[in-house]
Structure 1
Amino acid sequence: MKTIQKMYEHLNWANQRILETLQSMEDENQEVCRLFSHILFAEKVWITRLRGLDSSQLPIWSEVDLAVCAELVRQNEESVTTFLTNLDSTDLDKIISYTNSKGNEFKNSVREILTHVALHGHYHRGQINSRLRSDGMEPINMDFITFVR
């Protein structure tokens, strides 16, 4: 549980760093904003599923502005923190049934889902940094080791 908790503290920290960087830019980069909002929407979908609620009407990809991203960062951090606070280590192997955005049913453990969400965000944060670099900006340091230092 401590490792998962630390992974999500890092996830929240990384999301906040991206948000602050994007808010400080003169022009809003639509592709970067789209990738960032995808991370946030996916987090929302998965936490909804983990809570046993229907996620079928929630978007995975959507064109939104930074104000919406800022609200999603806040909501997701609150939701995940509450979920993890109430999660016992014995709950990690509980199986969650859910339907994905294409209507297919799946079953995964809480542990698998939490790991997926943390890794999924890392992948797309790397894409964001790649886009920022190609636009002549310094990539955002979101390394886990930087976070724990």
Structure 2
Amino acid sequence: MKEKLTDLFEYTYHFNNEMIKIISENISKIDEKTISLINHTLNAQQVWNSRILHEKSFEVWQINPFENLQDINNQNFQKSIQIVKNSDLDQRMSYHNSKGAEFENTIFEMLFQAINHSTYHRGQINSQLKLNGIEPVLTDYIFYKR
């Protein structure tokens, strides 16, 4: 299971970098919604990591300096891999969501949420890129594995 999660975080890291790259290369055509979505995608992974590690988290919709996005993606990746390697994935943890409500899930469920959430928002970013006349990035997992 840990090997599969590591693979999925490598996939997530790779395509988050590809999204940052295409946005950077086309910054003059990029709208505010795209900037908001790429930030939210990275912020959410940071938030899930911080819940597991009991660290201070970002706000889910905060806008980070664009030049920091690759570093944030790298830090997210490193922390997610650290969690996978050092945690009992079946351990249940309590945490509070961004509205303060308390929930409990396994570490696996929390990590998978971070991966799935990133995939969802990269699809939204691709839609925004297309609307702005930019060729979307093929981000399907199967393309990554070929």
TM-score, length of structure 1 as denominator length: 0.89
1:45 — aligned with what? 47
Where do residues 10-89 of structure 1 align in structure 2 (5 Å cutoff)? 10-27=11-28, 28-55=30-57, 58-87=58-87
Kindly indicate whether residue 3 of structure 2 is the aligned counterpart of residue 6 of structure 1: no
1:107 — aligned with what? 104
CA contact (8 A) 2:13 2:74 kept: no
CA distance in 2, matches of 1:8, 1:63: 23
Once the two structures are TM-superposed, the CA of residue 70 in structure 1 deviates from its matched residue by 2.2
Once the two structures are TM-superposed, the CA of residue 79 in structure 1 deviates from its matched residue by 1.4
Extract unaligned runs of 5+ from structure 1.
Answer: none
Q: 1:142 to 1:125 in 2, by over 3 A?
A: same
CA distance in 2, matches of 1:98, 1:145: 33
CA contact (8 A) 1:39 1:124 kept: yes
Q: 1:128 aligns with which of 125, 129, 145?
A: 125
CA distance in 1, matches of 2:65, 2:56: 25
CA contact (8 A) 1:97 1:105 kept: yes
Q: 1:114 to 1:96 in 2, by over 3 A?
A: same
Kindly indicate whether residue 113 of structure 2 is the aligned counterpart of residue 116 of structure 1: yes
- Report the count of equivalent residues: 144
| Structure 1 segments (4+ residues) deviating >4 Å | none
Q: Percent identity?
A: 31
CA distance in 1, matches of 2:15, 2:135: 15
RMSD: 1.5
